[in-house]
Amino acid sequence: MCADRLPTFHIAEPGGLLDADEVRHRPVGSHHESVSRHWLPSGPISVGLTAGASTPDNLVEQVIRRLDVLANP
């Protein structure tokens, strides 16, 4: 939905947020995971987070907490 205008990462689980420099994700249109570097810009950021109906709330919470740690070391 946003991939034409913004960096977009499909992350299967919270462990895909490896660190502030690397993210393990499935690129838009791909069926295979890859690791991208320099994914998290420095400074203030806005993040859009979506999850399917079958995604447990605790996984969404883990991702939010992980993003907070990575963005605010």
In DSSP notation, 34-71 reads EEEES-S-SSS--------TTS-HHHHHHHHHHHHHHH
Asked whether residue 4 is assigned to any structural domain, the reply reads no
Structural domain containing residue 35? 14-71
Residue type, 10: H
Asked whether residue 3 is assigned to any structural domain, the reply reads no
Asked whether residue 24 is assigned to any structural domain, the reply reads yes
Asked whether residue 22 is assigned to any structural domain, the reply reads yes
% of residues, the chain, pLDDT over 70: 100
pTM, 2 dp = 0.83
Q: pLDDT tens digit string along 39-51?
A: 988 888 888 888 8
Asked whether residue 36 is assigned to any structural domain, the reply reads yes
Partners of 31 in beta bridges = none
